Each structure stands twice: as C-alpha cells, then as structure tokens.
Chains A and B, each alone.
Chain A
Amino acid sequence: MKKLSDLKESGVRTIKNVKGPEMLRLLEMGLTPGSKVEVVRAAPLGYPIEVKIRGYLLSLRESEAKCIEIE
C-alpha cells in the first residue's frame, strides 16, 4: 500500500483512500478518494510537505501524510 508519505518524487497521483484520526478533516479539505494530489515540495527538515489538491496548496505533517493512500 503506497502512502503519500512514501512519495519521493513529485508528480500527480490519485488518492485511493484516507484513514486515521484526521480522516474527516482531510476529506473535508477536499482530499477525497479519486481526486488528484501532487507533492509540490518539502520543508527544510523533510516535513511538513506542501501538496496541491483541487487547485490549492495545503501543508501536511508526516503523521497526516501517512493517512493518505495513493494509487
């Protein structure tokens, strides 16, 4: 199972599933299964990461990126 936190290179991916304690908030922010997500860059110490979703930029910490499974 590949997660958003495993992504090293950028590129547009499709979200497969969202799990974990922050699932509701992540879904509400538009990270729904089937939507496209792109890792734009990472902050100095590796996290948080900046992702592009539904045309806007969102920052996620490692614990949150781990909750997002991608295809």
Chain B
Amino acid sequence: MQRETTIALVGNPNTGKSTLFNALTGLKQKIANYPGVTVEKKVGYATIGGKQFRIVDLPGTYSLNPKQIDERITYQVLAGKYEHEPEPDLVIVMADASNLDRNLYLVSQIMDLGIPVIVVLSMVDVAEERGIEINADKISKGFGVPVLPMVTKNEKEVQKLRDYLSSHTLNASKPLQWNPGESLRKAINIIIEEWIKPHTGLPERTWTVEALRFIGDDQAINLIPEIEKQHQLRQIVQKARKILDDAGKNYAAEEVLKRYDYIEKCTAGSVVKSGEDKATLSDKIDEYVTHKVFGPVIFGLVLLLMFQSIFSWAEPFMDLIDLLFIEMGSWVAANLPPGILNDLLVEGVIAGLGGVVIFLPQITFLFFFISVLEGTGYMARAAFVMDGFMTRIGLHGRSVVPLMSGFACAIPGIMAARTIENWSDRIITIMVLPFMACSARLPVYALMIAAFIPSTTFLGIFTLQGITFFGLYIFGIVMAILAAFVMKQFIKTDQPSPFIMELPSYKMPKWSGVFQNVFDRGKVFVTEAGKIILGISIVLWFLASFPKTDQPETLATDNITTENVETRSSEDEQVAASLKLQQSYAGQFGQFIEPVIEPLGFDWKIGIGLITSFAAREVMVGTLNTIYSVQDQDDAVSLQKKLQRDVDSNGEPIYSVWTALSLMVFFALAMQCMSTIAIVKRETNSWKWPAVMFIYMTSLAYICSFLVYQVGTNFS
C-alpha cells in the first residue's frame, strides 16, 4: 500500500489558511489539542488525483524563531523534531499577496528546511484593489519554488492547486538561497561543526535553521535543558557572534536584514504598485472604528448588540432543550420499571446530558459572532481600542470579549479566551472570568433580594433592591479586576507579552468557515467537557439519592379525602423528596459542614444547597424549595415567605438581611459550577488550573461572606 503523503499547511495569521484547509479537506477533519499544551491541532484528509493526502493545519506564525508555544509547535513539526507529528513531505505556505514582503520572509525560512515547498499567494484580489499587481512567475523564478496565485474562496482556483499537486513531483530547494554574506556564513558553519554535528542527532536539513536560531536568539539557547551543555553551547555561540561583531554586524539582526534584502531583490519588478498609498475602503472604515472616541463607543455597541442577541436568541432554544430533557426524563421514568436504574437514568444520566446540551445555544451564538468579528478583521481593532484600558488592570486588549461573554455564561467565555495568543494573558483572563455575574446566578439573587432586601425607594427612581442587584454585578467586575491585578504579580512567564499585532484589512467573512468554527466549538464542548460534566452529574445524583430511606408510607395514608387526593399525593411526594434529600449523603454532608458555614450565617439547609448547586448555581433555588416543602407544608405560601418565617430553636429568625447578603456574596465569588471546572480543564489541558480556581475563588467567597455577615450582624 502506498504511504499517505503528509502536507503541512503553514502561513502568517490572517492569510486565509483555514479557508484553504477547509476547501481541501471538506468535512474530513479532526480537531484535538497537541498533547500537553492548549494549542489546537487540526488534521484533515483529502484524495487528490487518486492519492491520499493527510493535511495538517499548523498554527499561524510570522517566523520560525518561535516566541509563543503555538509557533514553537509549528517550527518543531516542520523541523521533524516533534514526537507527536510525523515529518511533513511537503509544505504549502500561504502568503498574503497584499502583504508580500513579510509573508515571503516566512517562505524564505521554510525553504531553508529542505522540504519541498509550494507557495500559495492568497488575497490577490485584495492586493489588486490596493493597486498592487504581482507577477507570480517572476517571484517563482527568483525563489526557485512554485508560486500559485489564488482566491481561496473560489473553488476553481483551489482545483488548480489540486491539479498541481497531482501532476508535479516536487523537490526540496537547497538551504541558504538568500546569500547570508561571508561573516554570517562563517558563523553558521561554526555552530554546525562545533555544536550541531557532534552534540545533536538532528537531520542535516535542519542544521542551517537551527544554527541561525542560536545566533540570533538567546531564548533558543535557554531552552537546552542541561545547564552544562547550555554553557558549552553559549561559548560556541559567543565565538560565532564575535565573527559578526568583528565584521561590524549586529548578530541578532543580520539574518533578518539579509533575508529582507533577498526578498526585495526577488520581488523587484514583480510587484507593481500603482497609486501608492491610496486610501482604501479599509482605511476609511478604520478612521471611525479605531477613533479615540468613536472606537470605544462602536465597540460598546457591538458588544451590546452581541449579548442582547445571545440572550434573546439563545433563550428559546435553551427552554426547548430543557423541556425536551424533562419530557425524555418523565417518559423514561414512566416506561421503565421503577428502581435504582430508573433513577440513575432519569436523575443522573438524562439530567446530566441535559446539563451539557443546555449550553450549546449560547456557545453557538457567541462563536457565530466571534467568528464573524474575527473573519471581518474587527476583532484586532477591538483589541487595539481596548488594550490601553485592559493593560492598566493587568489584562490584554483581547480579554474584553471573553470577559463580557462571562455575563451570559462563563463556559463560552472561557472557550473564547483562545483568541488571546499569549499564555499568561489567556490564563489570567480564564481565571478571573467566572467572577462576571453569569445568568445562572440570577435566580439566586432574585430570590434573596425579593425576600430580604426592603424595596425602599429613594431619589424617586432607585429602589434598594435594584441597587443591590446592580451592586452585585459591579462587585463581580471589581473582584475580577482585583484578582487579575494580583495574579499578574504571580503568573510571570519567560515569554514577554508584546502587542506587535497585525491589523488585517477588512473583508467579508467566509460563511462556510464561520459555520465550521461554530460546529467545531460545539463539538469540542460536548465531547470533551461533556464527559466531565456527565460524570460529576452522576456523582451528585448519587450523593443526593443515597443512602435510600424508607418512604414514610404513613404520610400517604393519613387524612385522605376524595376531593384533595390529587394535591395530597403531590404534596406527599414533595415531603418524601425532601426527607430523602435530608437523609442522603448530600444532606448529611450539609449538616456536617454546618459548623464551618455557621460563621457565614448559613444553616444546614443552605449547606445542602451549596453542595447541590455545584451542578449549576440555579439548582440552589430548587433545592431550598424541596427542603422547605417538608418543614413548612403550607402550599399557599411561596418559598420567599417560607424563608422569611423560618426560625431556629430559640425562635429567632434564621434569615436576616445579613444572611441574604452573605449568601449573595458567596454566590458571586465561589466556584460552584462543575461545567466551568470541566471547560477550564479542557482549555488548559490540566487539572492544576481548575483546582487553583476552585480553591482561590471559594476561599475568597468564604472570607468575604464571613466579613459581610460578622461585620453586619455585630455592628448594625
């Protein structure tokens, strides 16, 4: 059998690489993380001219001197140094025709790696609009590699690439086509002869690029694990650099300058610019979108529109999913013989699956908007406009959209943090994001505020209830900012966090790409985070249902009269449910932790709620409802009233304003959401970060609630 050919797809960010990937592979794609890191690995398959191709879409990069972890993977795969990915047989480099110099820089580096290269010139149409006409044949002759101009949106043009692939056998070009000059050449040779040949087992084709990395970048040297070897290498590098110094060259700049010299020579005469610096439509849009005043205003409006739509569009779907799973649950409950299996299916599995699927509408809508904003080029502008504000609180311009998404739900927000390239900025954004008041906190806030905050009005329009509500949102934001600020002091990485970011020209998003992205996000959530959520749901079900108690049958037989048999039996069911919950492991645990939560003003009933609400924060309300149904069997009275009139053994009311405030503060800060834990595990690829998140948020919640309750009750 013929071995399949592996093609690596490489290019600068924003070159339309994903579009070509989708066009070549269609739906035959697999998405996963590279092992141990949170860089997405996209692999697809295609049959071209009867031959099987395996296509790897490598993370976008500007150069092979990797700064970020994802760029490092691109380099390692191309150099054949990455253990989890076979060496590619062929590299397709996407180069943006409207931005040729910088794109050809990467091409020239890849050509040094001794792998056959095809250059696909994308966005020829954008270039033409700017008055840039490119002679691809001339560039091809200059570089000595095939150069195919292409509008990737056009299927016919993609076919040209397929035809080329099936009709040509490609050879690797020789390294150093770009003439590094005498001194740099000498320096390269020193590194190869004295370090690479005797000390590494690297294949010959990578020698030049490896040597250049050491000459130009200390970081490459620092990555050598053994100190002694590092020291030895450093001495060799010093020697090589001295040659450049003696020749009056800057060792770190020489390679780049020589490459750009070569590129300028090759493109001379093949790029014709007419009407230089003509203001394009893109420039005109930018005058408003990145304006000092209009910019933030426009960004605010875009966010508002986005979240309004997510709320109003996702809600009917969420209700529908909710209904569907309830129906499914009751169907199974009615049609399977009662028993543990029935309970497990209905209350554990089906409820757990429902808890996973319920997030899909919000994820879908948020990623639809994010993909459109990314695809048009607006996202980079939003980051540009907001970066000044965000860096002052220790975050990044790109943190704004994920953080704002957190107001709807932390899950899609944490997934959206992928758009932040720098790891430490990304992790801080993820870690503070759950402080944003998500919609699951609303039912709890609403219940407590309605029951315990007086509806005093002042200034005519403001009520104390409304202000409390608003205050809780602000409280979440302030805590997120403080936490980000503190974390910035602790999470220091060796990676600098530059903001050398390209602002790509505006274009229409490619719709198939948008839908592909939305589909991918949903699939990743269901298959990866879904497993964890389902698992925890079943554990929670077990805790709330076992040990089994004897049903208090006597209750059911008392006082039955014909007219109220219906209401009686439903009431009895509630009572039974409540007793069951109280005596379950969850109930026992709630009572067990009572001494711990007492200083916060909470009793064991709230304790049970704190445990069950780990499934989702709004479950708190349902749990209190179940518990109070046994204690206070007055059906005519709402849960709100029942809470108000609950008294302890001394006849003192259990709840006060301070209990309510303490509980709301606790809900604002504590990490009580298993789905968030699951998605943080997925997005950071380790259990470390979800563990840190759980501990720091819950401790902070405990301390703040303690302060609110103790100060409140002792000084008021």
Contacts and interface: CB of A to CB of B under 8 A. Distances in A.
A5 interface: no
B252 A22 contact: no
12 contacts: A21-B496, A22-B500, A23-B252, A24-B256, A28-B105, A29-B62, A29-B500, A30-B105, A42-B292, A58-B500, A59-B380, A61-B499
Contacts of B102: 28-30, 54, 56
A44 to B, nearest CB: 5
Given A29-B102, A56-B102, A50 B257 contact: no
Given A27-B256, A30-B105, A55-B132, A22 B496 contact: yes
Interface in A1-44: 18, 21-30, 32-33, 40-44
Interface stretch (B73-81, B309-317, B385-393, B690-698): B385-393
Given A29-B62, A44-B389, A55 B130 contact: yes
A56 B98 contact: yes
Nearest to A52: B277
Contacts of B291: 41
B473 interface: no
B63 interface: yes
Contacts of A55: 98-99, 101, 130, 132
Nearest to B65: A24
Contact of A44 (B253, B292, B502): B292
Given A47-B387, A55-B99, 8 more contacts: A25-B65, A27-B257, A29-B500, A44-B385, A47-B388, A56-B504, A56-B505, A64-B500
A26 B500 contact: yes
Contacts of A18: 253
Interface residues of B, number: 44
Interface of B: 62-63, 65, 67, 98-99, 101-102, 105, 130, 132, 216-217, 252-253, 256-257, 260, 286, 290-293, 295-296, 380, 383-385, 387-389, 391-392, 397, 496, 498-505
B132 A23 contact: no
Nearest to A12: B277
Contacts of A33: 257
B384 A43 contact: yes
Contacts of B505: 56-57
A45 B384 contact: no
B500 A25 contact: yes
A62 to B, nearest CB: 9
| A-B pairs with lowest CB-CB distance, top 5 | A45-B388, A57-B503, A27-B256, A61-B499, A28-B63
A56 B377 CA distance: 13
> Which of B65, B102, B505 gathers most chain A CB within 10 Å?
B102
B256 A28 contact: yes
B388 A57 contact: no
Contact of A57 (B217, B253, B296, B502): B502
